[in-house]
Amino acid sequence: MTESAAKSPVALQVCTTCRAEGESLEPRAQRAGARLFAALSAEAKADDVTIVAVECFAVCRRPCTLSFSRPGAWTYIVGDVSPGMDPQEIFAAARLYGASPQGLIPWKMRPAFLKSGIVARFPPPHEMET
């Protein structure tokens, strides 16, 4: 893990365009993803997690979708997150991710929503030497 990864806050990115089955396209602020983003933003207290709105993760069949990322670490994309889920459960998972070298969370330590909801994980980008 690089020094910058150890000091970087976790980016908790939330798809604000996710819609639950049967939700209308408009108004966007009432969609499930926007509600989840609002709930997380209202509960955010720590400097170690930055909440970011994302327009679309293209995981529309598994709303709501969010991700955990930070420089020098793997990125997790997680689907099927309920907009009514306790934000503190999501923050606890983000802190677990942030405390893990390279962002890899052992299976046994993952909360249930992470075990069942992981859509993909991506390795950190390779830095190219010039």
Q: With bands split at pLDDT 50, 70 and 90, how would you rate the model's confidence at 130?
A: low
Give all domains of the chain, ordered by start, each with its CATH number: 3-122 (3.40.30.10)
pLDDT by residue (tens digit) across 97-106? 999 989 999 9
Q: Is the peptide bond before 124 cis (omega within 30 degrees of 0)?
A: no
What average pLDDT does this structure show over 52-75?
94
Structure token pair of residue 27: 């108004």
pLDDT by residue (tens digit) across 67-97? 999 999 999 999 999 999 999 999 999 999 9
Give the mean pLDDT of the chain: 88
pLDDT by residue (tens digit) across 8-33? 789 999 999 999 888 877 787 789 99
Q: With bands split at pLDDT 50, 70 and 90, how would you rate the model's confidence at 129?
A: low
128: pLDDT strictly greater than 60:
no
